[in-house]
Amino acid sequence: PCFSFQVCKQCKQDKRDVSAANFSLHEAHCLRFLTLCPECDEPVAQKDIKDHQTEAHKQVRNECQQRVMKCKICELEMPFNKLQEHLNTCASRTEQCWACNKYIMYKDWNKHKEICQNSTSGISILCVSRTSDHKWV
């Protein structure tokens, strides 16, 4: 974990924020033991990648790649085979936290709401202007 008073870097292997002081050791460990799944872009232990791909993605292989899916962030509908590319971009968009005024990537909101120092009772609200839906309350 990385606290607000620390200088942090994001590890490309497991997508975690790591304090700069520990980053080299953390990154070396991740490079040696983790890999990103090419289908879901999630970190998986190298020794488990074949099992992960077989189990986690077996239904996907049997379903139509053109089926319409909805983005879990913006709710835009698109063919399944375009969804992962869209999610990578969509999740990297930022929104300002109303509690601390920092700009946070959508993919980091759940982590941010747990550590946001300025939120009342540890709870913050993200309001998406296009849909007026509250993503977390």
Question: pLDDT tens, 57-93?
Answer: 776 556 788 889 998 888 899 998 899 889 888 888 9
* Residue located via tokens 């998986």: 44
Q: At 98, which helix (H) or strand (E)? A: none
Work out the number of other CB atoms within 10 angstroms of the CB of residue 116: 20
> What residue ranges do the domains of the chain occupy?
94-137
The proportion of the chain whose per-residue pLDDT surpasses 70, expressed as a percent, equals: 79
Work out the number of other CB atoms within 10 angstroms of the CB of residue 47: 9
Using 50, 70 and 90 to split pLDDT, how confident is the model at 47? very high
Q: Is the separation of the CB atoms in 60 and 39 below 8 Å?
A: yes
Q: Is the separation of the CB atoms in 43 and 30 below 8 Å?
A: yes
Using 50, 70 and 90 to split pLDDT, how confident is the model at 48? very high
Give dist(CA 36, CA 30) in Å, integer.
10
Give dist(CA 57, CA 91) in Å, integer.
21
